Chain A
Amino acid sequence: MTIAPARPAAPAQETTSGPFGASIPRREDLRLAAGDGRYLDDIGHQALAAAFLRSPHAHARVRDIDVSGALEVDGLVAVYTYEDLDGRVAEPLPLLIPHPSLHAPRTAYPLANGIVRHVGEPVVMVVARDRYLAEDAVDRVIVDWEPLPAVVGLPAAFEARHAVHADVPDNVAAHMVQTVGDAPAAIGAAPYTMDLTLEIERSASMPLEGKGVLARWDADDRSLRVYSSTQTSTSVRFALAAKLDLPVDRVEVVTPDVGGGFGVKIVHPWPEEVLVAWAALRLGREVKWVEDRREHFISSAHERGQLHTVKVGFDADGHILGLDVRFLHDNGAYIPYGIIVPIISSTQLLGPYKLGAYRVEFHSMYTNTVIVTPYRGAGRPHGVFVMERVMDALADRLGLDRAEVRRRNMIGPDEMPYDQGMIFQDGRPLIYDTGDFPETLRRALAMVDWSGFQAVRDAARAEGRRVGIGVAAYVEGTGVGPYEGAHVRVDTTGDVVVATGLTTQGQGHETAFAQIAAQELGVPVERVKVTTGDTRRFKYGVGTFASRAAVMSGNAVAAAAGKVRAKALRIAAQALGADLTELVLSDGEIAVRGFGPDGPRIALATVAVLANPLRYAFDEEAKRATQFAGPPSDGPPVPEGEEPGLEATGWYSPIRTTFANGAHAVIVETDPETAEIRILRYCVVHDCGRMINPMIVEGQVHGGVAQGVGGALYERMVYDPDGQLLNASFMDFLMPYASEVPHIEIDHLASPSPLNPLGVKGIGEAGLIPGHAVIASAVEDAEGFRIDRMPISPSELFDLRRRHAAGEVPPLHRSSKEGREDIG
């Protein structure tokens, strides 16, 4: 069986009517595909360059810093240590998301204040004429270190022989318990119980473009403009204004084109964001910092391991009566982003299932490693891995089909909306709104031909080949609040200008949001210009993360466009002397229904002019508008309750998260000799409600699946016991090339969301969420023994095989002579 060849995608359709739901080619590609993007390092060519001396030790005291050597480097402009920092810049970086269970939060200083807690922590900042010289200067700085014992890995953290923070001797940053019913009792009373220990190591966002900051202080204007490769310019603005003690109105943050984020760029303010802006102010010069790849590995963020101890009680039919999960979560040296990741693991672990009772407890632990913050999936992959391994284990124990066990535990469509009885990461109840989980699963199984697999397995075996099939289902909370907003304006040129506060890292927002506005306003998509992530254009927002942009800004754009549409119709009705109900808005014009092409009509551009009664006519459109002036009225030119201009601001603030769902099914082949693992088929069924642009949606799924494959089979951050990151380069941190990513087959379901007017749900993370789970399921099926730890490499599989052959790893029940999987 060969990997199915990729079909060339059908060329995207150009369409000028009903753009919502169409796979139109992206507006931003006219720029990006031409190589005309403006990423952070493409701007600010005259800026000074910053570089950092970063800790080579995982844990150490900084006894002395000698910068004299650096001062001799030609082109050096400034060297800064912690002692140079002033005001709030000298304070620890903020704790972005406090939580009652986060009882020992610790964040870093922008430059180490006498102590470093992970390899890569910034200690000295150098500013020089260019990056080459800045690095030369960094090399000349001599630091006198006193190494301290490093705490690496969850067992060491939990054992707590040494502490990452002296005042947190047990290394526990947070401890949280959530319960639904009485799981221990339910398990105690259950006819069957099982214990599992599961370990899942994740990876890191690793966008192709690292972080970067460019700061420009305008002394004449006393204003600061900062460009940052961030996922939240609106929030960076507030953070910097606070840190630098500037009025918020004097700070603007602009997101340039961003070369990927995947979560890592939501953290803010990074030390470098604060320091580069601060240096720009002090020096009165533009300062730019462009993170290099090594820096990204050792001073950005990862999302790493969780170690789960699970107890499950179930009945003979495979119904889960009680589930008790306890886990350790590695949050790295500091915890600026709070405990979002383990909370999401805890809550999304439930998946599309209804359990009898559930108890989940976690300890979030400090270690002397890079901080852990959300990476696409944000804790869901951990939770899904646990639940799906439990399902497979149950099925095997009872001799039931793995899909059947899932069906029996699944929430049915008639039970929706379903309240899981927990509080989600947004502080709101975890209530699944819409979705047909059994149908999603059924389609995935049909696509991969689950019931026909035994024949495939037999045929492969006859050829001496080993194959396995796996399945995993998940639920994903998307469109988390608190809100997003958008501003829509029709210019007198007829162009529609849209701005929203959140940001873009490749998701096609310039197109998707244009489609929404174009649909609402009846204009061609090409006339709509969208700006994201620029506080000069829109100041309020939260950011792009948690698969929320389409839901949040999509609905905000729709709301704003809706207001603009209503106003345009009102003005047009008056200008045309028609009734509102008689008007039709399409192709940039408002016409009276039933009159044909020569009937009364007015261009949207003209309406825009009329909306802003001016004494002066600046352009042709304005002159043309005078014919619609109408008879003079007694009222004010701008009526009560109205505003000048054909523009409006709209908001969307959800009562709670809307839930997408999906199921993946995978066929793998393992080489009986070399233990290499190859994915033969990768099938995805997902449901994200209504799709704005199906081509963009599929692209998001593709990218997520590739990261899921990477995370399951190739990517792992390897720390040695001293806290050195052993694979801090692309040579040894293995992101998949095209040869490692299989052809991906996708089917969609659409259960519109009842929680927002557009009926959309998020899709950004879907492709990734069940990756570890489904691949573990398939490899286990191929090999005949339990896979409890992911990721897995051929070397590790080889080792498991040997231990299995030696009797140390028990076989699956269905692999032994007596057992077999009763595929339904």
Chain B
Amino acid sequence: MAEATHPVELTVNGIPHTLAVPARRLLADSLRHDLGLTGTHLGCEHGVCGACTVLLDGEPVRSCLLFTVTVDGQEVTTMEGCRAADGGLGPVQRAFRECHGLQCGFCTPGFVTTVTAYLRDNPDPTAEEAREAIGGNLCRCTGYQNIVASVQRAAEILRAEARRAPRGDDRARDERGGAEAKPAPRAEAS
């Protein structure tokens, strides 16, 4: 007597997928095992460590606390979706590398997605703000020093990229019902 499955349409990193999953299947497991996107990691399965954080319609959420069926029809961005167009390191990932913001790398996907969304809305954080932005993700290796630095370095890289190509912005759409418009990032004079 196999479990009932439900059809789910999910766009992940811009690519639409159709899945048939049991209701209890966690989004993290669908991403990792049904779609082979193992960049999202499971550290606790109770929402505290943040390693599983992905962007749902552009906003960071814990994929260990979401059932795949719940997000039917929505857009998900994972760590893989934060890469550059050529598959190399994206700007936030590059910043982490430059600043030694990762050691074992297990928590890193949660930070990268969180920081990606954060910098979209807050392009020029102070060190204090950067520390607060990463305040909901656990890291056991780095002591957070270099992660804070990575956030600010990522902001630098993104601002430089924006100056080079001010129209090349492909933020995920914000679909929250009744949502207020988020403040637009400050445009840099080119």
Contacts and interface: CB of A to CB of B under 8 A. Distances in A.
Direct chain A–B contact by Cβ atoms under 8 Å: yes
Contacts of A739: 131-132, 135
A699 interface: yes
B142 A703 contact: yes
Size class of the B contact interface (CB-based, 8 Å): 35 or more
Given A208-B139, A706-B143, A30 B46 contact: no
A209 B132 contact: no
A9 B99 contact: yes
Interface in A521-540: none
A707 B140 CA distance: 7
Interface residues of A, number: 63
A214 interface: no
Interface in B27-62: 32-33, 36, 38-46, 48-49, 51
Contacts of B82: 35
B51 A25 contact: no
B39 A35 contact: yes
B94 interface: yes
Contact of B96 (A29, A38, A704): A29
Contact of A737 (B44, B83, B103, B135): B135
Contacts of A6: 127, 130-131, 145, 148-149
Contacts of A103: none
B24 interface: yes
Chain B's interface: helix, strand, loop or mixed, by majority? loop
B103 A5 contact: no
Contacts of B45: 292-293
Interface in A691-713: 695-696, 698-699, 701-707
Contact of A729 (B46, B99, B147): B46
A744 B143 contact: yes
A738 B114 CA distance: 14
Contact of A730 (B107, B135, B138, B153): B138
Contacts of A730: 44, 46, 48-49, 138
Contact of A259 (B104, B135, B137): B104
Given A9-B100, A35-B109, A703-B140, A208 B51 contact: yes
Contacts of A744: 143, 145
Contacts of A193: none
Contacts of A11: 98-99, 153
Interface string A29-70: 110111111110110010000000000000000000000000
A260 B141 contact: yes
A42 B32 contact: yes
Given A25-B97, A35-B78, A507 B145 contact: no
Contact of A207 (B83, B104, B130, B143): B104
12 contacts: A6-B131, A8-B153, A9-B100, A29-B105, A37-B39, A41-B38, A209-B106, A260-B141, A262-B140, A737-B135, A737-B144, A744-B145
Given A132-B24, A259-B43, 13 more contacts: A8-B148, A11-B98, A34-B83, A37-B106, A74-B1, A75-B2, A132-B25, A207-B104, A258-B104, A702-B143, A702-B146, A703-B103, A743-B145
Q: Which 10 A-B pairs have the closest CB atoms?
A: A35-B39, A259-B106, A506-B104, A32-B105, A35-B79, A706-B143, A702-B143, A506-B103, A730-B48, A42-B38
